[in-house]
Amino acid sequence: MGRLATTEGLTDIQSEILKTIREFVDERIIPVAQELEHADEYPTEIIEGLKELGVFGLTIPEEFGGLGESLLTYALVVEEIARGWMSVSGVINTHFIVAYMLMQHGTEEQKAKYLPKMATGEVRGAFSMSEPGLGSDVSAVSTKATKLDDGSYSITGQKMWLTNGGTSTLVAVLCKSDEGADSVYKNMTTFLVEKEPGFGQTAQGITVPGKIDKMGYKGVETTELILEDHKISADQILGGTPGKGFFQMMDGVEVGRVNVAARACGLQIRAFELAIAYAQQRKTFGKPIAEHQAILFRLAEMGTKVEVSHNMMVRAARLKDSGQRMDVEAGMAKMVASEYANEVVEASFRIHGGYGYSKEYEIERIYRETAFMLIGEGTSDIQKMIIGRNLLKDYKA
């Protein structure tokens, strides 16, 4: 990848993991990404390869069969995978968030039940917070979990934008439960909902209607999740105590923002690689277009944005790994990386000229994929609200 987006201070194990993933991306993802993306085909062979490499259990502790690696390692792996094909990193992301939530908030029984199978990819996780009438206002969750006389619950509601909605077998679902405290943020509960992979009715009271057709982010399925009087045991409440769902979900979203920042960095890196290669091959007026000042300056700006995004993402991950709060840093990293990804990819698109508009060229696919980075895990406006409010607390007059 040249000199951009390198990371200092990695252990030998981290460096070896990244080397292995980079080789996998170059040999088994990039050569097939165009064909699979255009066909909107699920990358089964790629996913099986990532299972063999242990990626599904990358951050899961060794006692549960995982590799026990840090958020930083995971983010750098995601960056590499997104460089090959962003959709593949999306398959890993929601699985990772559910595993993280289990590690941080699950009961010992829940960890023992799910984490070993999640580490191998046998159990695949999905994360379900959003709803058709719900954007960034999580307090408006309407999916309802009603406690029954026998102590179990009945869940009814409609969820939206589930990545891995079809292939997942364990979904972390945020519901209103009317248990906890008076605050709307303290009467939400996260349930660990089990289902069979596939579409249609996948369990009693659970229906996954089908894939949502999207502009980009192809291959990986994005779905709705409809729950109609789905009976579930109280043992499936994440952490065992109702009323803590909002805070558990926000913890998951925080590391998810680092993940989206990493994906945006991967898209930038690939767009820059394609642009700088094309600019040295394409000639106008007797010399490569890279030697024209306008293109040279554009490449310089692109490279700088790649570096800034990468370093902000790394800093946020390292803060989380050290046990510190990083809601501001995660928000900053996500905002900067997604906005810069949009700018870097568009600059690469412009450098490619008319060829960039052709589906034969990678940059056309990357151009469509990048738009998702602007909205995934919260828009830039939401990140600005989070950042601004916290800065006001830190610099209180």
> Which residue from 188, 151, 152 is spatially nearest to 173, judged by alpha carbons?
188
Asked if 81 and 33 count as a contact pair (C-beta separation under 8 A), the reply is: no
3-state SS of 253-288? HHHHHHHHHHHHHHHHHHHHHHHHHHHHHCEECCEE
Structure tokens at 33: 């990404």
Asked if 296 and 369 count as a contact pair (C-beta separation under 8 A), the reply is: no
Q: Where are the alpha helices (DSSP H) in the chain?
A: 12-24, 30-39, 44-53, 71-84, 86-105, 108-120, 245-281, 293-321, 327-352, 362-373, 380-394
Measured distance CA(332)–CA(334) in Å, rounded: 6
Structure tokens at 177: 């439960």
Bridge partners of 158, per DSSP, are 226
Active-site residue, 360 included: no
Collect all residues with Cβ–Cβ distance below 8 Å to 351 and sequence separation of at least 6: 275, 278, 279, 289, 295, 298, 299
Q: What angle, 0 to 180 degrees and rounded to 10, lies between the N-to-C axes of helices 362-373 and 327-352?
A: 150
Of the listed 69, 131, 362, 377, which one is catalytic? 377
Bridge partners of 206, per DSSP, are 203, 227
Q: Is 246 helix (H, G, I), strand (E, B) or coil?
A: helix
Collect all residues with Cβ–Cβ distance below 8 Å to 303 and sequence separation of at least 6: 4, 272
Asked if 205 and 146 count as a contact pair (C-beta separation under 8 A), the reply is: no
Asked if 227 and 153 count as a contact pair (C-beta separation under 8 A), the reply is: no
Collect all residues with Cβ–Cβ distance below 8 Å to 135 and sequence separation of at least 6: none
Structure tokens at 44: 């089964």
Tell me the catalytic residues. Answer: 377
